[in-house]
Chains A and B, each alone.
Chain A
Amino acid sequence: MALSYLRSSSSRSVNLLKPLSSSLPLRRPISTDTTPITVETSVPFTSHQCDAPSRSVETNPKELLTFFRDMALMRRMEIAADSLYKAKLIRGFCHLYDGQEAVAVGMEAAVTKKDCIITAYRDHCTFIGRGGTLLEVFAELMGRQAGCSKGKGGSMHFYKKDSNFYGGHGIVGAQVPLGCGLAFAQKYSKDETVTFALYGDGAANQGQLFEALNISALWDLPAILVCENNHYGMGTAEWRAAKSPAYYKRGDYVPGLKVDGMDALAVKQACKFAKEHALKNGPIILEMDTYRYHGHSMSDPGSTYRTRDEISGVRQERDPIERIRKLILSHDLATEKELKDIEKEVRKEVDDTITQAKESPMPEPSELFTNVYAKGLGVESFGADRKEVRATLP
């Protein structure tokens, strides 16, 4: 994705060849600019049982523009998914991530593809962050063969094994023990990588979380539990569901950090800090203070339990894309028009991909029975009537 941006931007700014320092008003090919810029996060971090990292984040124009493009892509993708759902091309459950994009891009900026990420059902943007393509997303949402799970998983079951994205889980909270298991495997194989297990404020009240946290702390696993606190567990506000909504403190003996989840740079800083911590000292909890504009899912209007003023207020004051846009403009890294061009380009990309995804065929009927069992035993389930039985094991 960043690659396509580079291609397109270099074709646009082909006239500007001389590298210039960022203080001069002339535009330069920002696609390759990695001169460091230091930015302060919007709010300081609050910590529990550890020292908070510094508020100053190092970034560079290339990264900021990557953030902008990636978040714009995610936002457009989610809004397009909204329309597709209303057009009944996407059925079932569709949980949209718009408003929370900063968490996905900030996390990716701090880690490598060898670190594992596992999340719940609000996984479209996390999947894109991990390197998934738009076509895989839309095809899977529409249940087509080109989808990342061959159309058999759906919105809540996106996975990408080669970039260590472990999904994509429908049952609230069940992914956290899985995530701690991933961290265990990383420790077992001595990988020096970490696992980010994401969950929401609703899942934070699940018992299996505390069980898994206890085991992770006991065995010193490199597990980072990230609570994406968008303040509503479907229709229930956090103060109505949790006696103590300070989710970063819930670990008790496990250190925690509260982060402004609408600030991609703060997320990046926190994840970097967490990765270092987890590799040395075991689990840590990150609470991302974020917000979702859509309702819980497409069947939830999102306005029965919160006011429209609240939603538009957050959109005006804390929108993650706007924040990066202001940052880019204030540092003179690109013009308004260039940013608008990026957004237009992203919109076109999404529309084109949707057209392409619509052409992908539905899965074959025989696909019903594939992948129920792994092929190692030569077992394909055709029901109980098995005429062939002999199978050899390794």
Chain B
Amino acid sequence: MAAIFQGVGAAAPLSSSPSNSFDSNKSVFSPPRSFSVVRSDGIVNLNPKGRSAQRLISNAVATKADSPAASSSSKPGHELLLFEALQEGLEEEMERDPRVCVMGEDVGHYGGSYKVTKGLAKRFGDLRVLDTPIAENSFTGMGIGAAMTGLRPVIEGMNMGFLLLAFNQISNNCGMLHYTSGGQFTIPVVIRGPGGVGRQLGAEHSQRLESYFQSIPGIQMVACSTPYNAKGLMKAAIRSENPVILFEHVLLYNLKERIPDEDYICNLEEAEMVRPGEHVTILTYSRMRYHVMQAAKTLVNKGYDPEVIDIRSLKPFDLHTIGNSVKKTHRVLIVEECMRTGGIGASLTAAITENFNDYLDAPIMCLSSQDVPTPYAGTLEEVTVVQPAQIVTAVEQLCQ
């Protein structure tokens, strides 16, 4: 799987503190086990499950460090961090299609505030990697206008929260133009950026916009969580004819994983089976996946067998995968970082209840963040989001 470097906060994305580094040779933890993820042909290659890691990082994005197992491809693959995976995906798509361009604040000469666009400006020039002024409303609108003519812009919000300023453009123009023009225009934009609760970034920089955007008709939303699916989803999003919002997470940029060398994409509407199980279905996405996996270790030790699905596609939900899982386990726990009110979990609960009510043995449990602005104080911020201990308690309660 992937390892995170302790202490690298999103607050200082470019600085490297002496205790950690981004260089893969000096990794703090044992070399990560490569992890086969579900591809669109449905093959899951999960090798020995249930072995817990020797080192547990508290309150972080833990891993199932295991003995090296088969990688997801025949070739050895290469190791990289999540932001590098995003950059690789972006670069490959820009090379493949000259219509792909990137626009955002500090994406060009600066290299991107989270280094996702590093090196692209040098390689592709100023017309394809555009540094915009701080004017989200208009440059999002410009990206959409350019997309109407056939260009494929990748619009970056330096933090997802800033895209609230562009909400009108995203909702009315991006989402609706294909419909209101009777199909004349497609808007192949990708709107991406980091969101989610970071390390004491404060309320305004810790927003989760997936709940605000989920009602907009005409857009697709995906959330990446590992370097493998980050690269795959980025490429798929760029190739898609629909507007796609790609949600990244500030704390996941330094995850390391070995990914295949060859060209691959991840299906935008598909969920990822992280860990098959029998007792309970845990649905999660983005950073909460790691909290769930950490809780899963504890649960396995206690004798439970959770099935963990990273839903990845936030709009539309992959009810096929989710439904099959519900039919198998009959219990659902949703763990998300969204707010309780009107979040992704709320919609997912409604969707599952509507469609699979007959298969449920217990009411769906949904663990979400508290309905508060994210506080600055570390202890309070910890309590705002769902912690592994709460997940363990919830599963125990659900499985009674």
Contacts and interface: CB of A to CB of B under 8 A. Distances in A.
A174 B168 contact: yes
B43 to A, nearest CB: 13
Contacts of A169: 172-173
A332 B180 CA distance: 46
B166 to A, nearest CB: 9
Interface of A is mostly: loop
A166 B169 contact: no
B382 interface: no
A346 B301 CA distance: 83
A187 B149 CA distance: 12
A374 B141 contact: no
A17 interface: no
Contacts of B319: 384-386, 389
Contacts of A151: 182
B60 to A, nearest CB: 32
A393 B236 contact: yes
Contacts of B151: 184-185, 188-189
A177 B169 contact: yes
B346 interface: no
Contacts of B236: 393
Given A152-B179, A381-B316, A373 B220 contact: yes
A185 B140 CA distance: 14
Given A384-B317, A393-B265, A148 B146 contact: no
B351 interface: yes
Contact of B318 (A176, A389, A392): A389
Contact of B178 (A181, A373, A387): A373
A370 B183 contact: yes
Contacts of A153: 180-182
A374 B146 CA distance: 17
Contacts, number: 198
Contact of B180 (A152, A207, A384): A152
Contacts of B161: none
Given A174-B168, A214-B133, A182 B269 contact: no
Interface string B313-352: 0001111110000000000000000000000000100010
B184 A161 contact: yes
Contact of A181 (B40, B135, B144, B186): B144
A87 interface: no
Given A157-B181, A170-B172, A371-B178, A182 B148 contact: yes
B146 A188 contact: yes
B218 interface: yes
B173 A178 contact: yes
B318 A372 contact: no
B320 A388 contact: yes
Contacts of B217: 372, 381
A114 B89 CA distance: 34
A3 interface: no
A379 B182 CA distance: 16
Contact of B182 (A147, A166, A385, A394): A147
Interface string B31-46: 0000000001000000
A181 B173 CA distance: 12
Contacts of A171: 168, 172
Greatest chain A CB density within 10 A among B146, B180, B186 is at B180
A188 B40 contact: no
A379 B178 CA distance: 13
Nearest to A190: B127
Interface in B121-165: 127-128, 130, 132-133, 135, 137-151
Interface residues on B, range: 35 or more
A167 interface: yes
Nearest to A191: B149
A116 B146 CA distance: 11
Contact of B269 (A116, A184, A207, A379): A379
Interface in A108-162: 116, 118, 147-154, 157, 159-161
B71 interface: no
A211 B181 contact: no
Contact of B141 (A188, A208, A373): A208
Nearest to B265: A393
B113 interface: no
Nearest to B270: A389
Interface in A180-207: 180-182, 184-189, 207
B86 interface: no
Contacts of B242: 373-374, 376-377, 379
A181 B183 contact: no
Contact of A214 (B135, B144, B270, B355): B135
Contacts of B188: 374
Contacts of A207: 137
Nearest to B220: A373
Given A167-B181, A377-B268, A386-B320, A211 B135 contact: yes
Contact of B132 (A154, A186, A215): A215
Interface of A: 116, 118, 147-154, 157, 159-161, 166-171, 174, 176-182, 184-189, 207-208, 211-212, 214-215, 218-219, 370-377, 379, 381, 384-394
10 contacts: A150-B182, A159-B180, A181-B145, A181-B146, A207-B137, A212-B138, A379-B220, A386-B317, A386-B320, A393-B265
Given A157-B181, A208-B137, 19 more contacts: A159-B180, A159-B185, A167-B177, A174-B168, A177-B140, A178-B148, A179-B145, A180-B145, A181-B142, A182-B146, A182-B148, A184-B146, A188-B101, A208-B135, A384-B317, A386-B316, A386-B319, A388-B320, A394-B239
Interface of B: 40, 101, 127-128, 130, 132-133, 135, 137-151, 168-169, 172-173, 177-186, 188, 217-218, 220, 236, 239-242, 265, 267-270, 316-321, 347, 351, 354-355
